[in-house]
Structure 1
């Protein structure tokens, strides 16, 4: 591929070229998570900082990425995938639950996936904002996936007669916007609240817009 350095093939130290490349990429990703998500942030980080944190050379960096933005883009998709997998893991079998319990479990699964690692939270809701048109498009594409998911869940609930029958796409878009805005403000310290308070507030917004009563507290 033009503009990329091709790593050497063959085995070295008992590992294949593919295994060595995967290990380098993992180290760059971990360094990026630390620097973007827990350290100075993407805008204050240089490629040499990532290489130093990863214990690798700039030559090795350019074997994996063209720019530092490429690493941020990869990490943004990675942290979104973690949240998505958390939701999909609990989705099977929830259809039998009352709508309040179903949406509560789905949203809490999302929140757990998105916030279990504070580095993920900062990358997903803070560091990705306003970097470039390319990353804005990537962020909006992922946002659209969540809107599609929520709209489909609402459509199915309406078909079962659990919630009023209407188009819930605007509701889904507004809710995803509320998540992004509130989580950004909480992550940067503009909102003085615990994570549980943030999750409860967002969940109440969702249930209110779906006209679903919250589940009883234990």
Structure 2
């Protein structure tokens, strides 16, 4: 495994070493979003091509990352962080609203974060799959966070009498799989409908899962 170069310290061009480090790292992630998410894809991208797109040297690459897979891992987490932040903000802003309105807003926020850029959909649902056991573990760990969030929301809804009081873990896993598959297929042009129609259908599915008997 190639060792990372020692990072420089001190201020240069008005920026601290930490600021320069963060700027280079983000340039590499931005370049990766373009190459992995739009083409040619992770498996056909080289370190040299990534550095050329980012406008950095390979030496600077190895100051930030050990391998190209490390870039893929960081980018996958970044895209998920964007979506999670949008969902948390929507949940906060819709607290106290009726269930249907609340989750309509939440799913629009999630879809807006992911579907605003087709590269994000490809990164979330395609490029990371089957790369390595490490990436599969990260993908499933991140999905588990979404499952935990959904189960927590379902438990809160049950306390308010808006949802059945039961264990939602399997239902949450099935529903999140549906979300991923439907958004992927919609972005690929295999689903004939607008994004709003896709979101409305997902909300109907979720409400059907949550609604108490009778």
Alignment TM-score, normalising by the size of structure 2:
0.91
Closer, same or farther: CA 129–191 of 1 in aligned 2, 3 Å: farther
Q: Secondary structure at the match of 2:201?
A: helix
Match of 1:10 in 2: 10
Q: Give 1:62's aligned residue.
A: 62
Q: State whether residues 51 and 57 of structure 2, in contact with CA within 8 Å, keep that contact through their aligned partners in structure 1.
A: yes
Report Cα offsets for 1:44-103 as digits up to 9, x if no partner: 111111001011111111111111110110011001000110011122253421111112
- Give the equivalent residue in structure 2 for 1:31: 31
Partner residue of 2:182?
182
Task: Specify whether residues 48 and 93 from structure 1 end up closer, same or farther in structure 2 by C-alpha distance, changes over 3 A only.
Answer: closer
Q: Counterpart of 1:178 in 2: which secondary structure? A: helix
Deviation at 1:114, TM superposition (A): 1.8
Matches within 5 A, 1:61-210: 61-92=61-92, 94-210=94-210
1:20 is aligned to 2:49: no
**Number of residue pairs matched by the alignment:** 211
8 A Cα contact 2:104 2:200, kept in partner: no
CA distance in 1, matches of 2:82, 2:29: 14
Q: Could you list the runs of 5+ residues in structure 2 that have no partner in the other structure?
A: none
Q: Is the 8 A contact 1:126 1:187 kept in 2?
A: no
Unaligned segments of structure 1, at least 5 residues: 213-218
Cα 1:85–1:201 change in 2 (3 A) is same
Give the drift of 1:192: 4.2
| Structure 1 segments (4+ residues) deviating >4 Å | none
The DSSP-based 3-state class of the residue aligned with 1:171 is: helix
Worse-matched range after superposition: 56-65 or 112-121? 112-121
Which stretch shows the higher mean deviation, 15-24 or 81-90? 15-24
For residue 199 of structure 1, report the CA deviation from its aligned partner: 2.1
1:203-218, aligned counterparts within 5 Å? 203-211=203-211
TM-score by length of 1: 0.89
Relative to structure 1, is the Cα distance of residues 146 and 195 closer, same or farther in structure 2, using a 3 angstrom cutoff?
Answer: same
Structure 2 distance, partners of 1:109, 1:94, is 11
User: Relative to 1, partners in 2 of residues 1:147 and 1:192: Cα closer, same or farther, differing over 3 Å?
Assistant: same
Residues 179-200 of structure 1: CA distance to partner in whole angstroms, max 9, x if unpaired? 1222233334444443333323
Report which stretch shifted further, 144-153 or 194-203: 194-203
Answer whether contact 2:115 2:187 (CA < 8 A) is retained: no
| Alpha-carbon displacement from aligned partner over 1:133-170 (angstroms, at most 9, x marks no partner) | 11111111110111111111111111111122211221
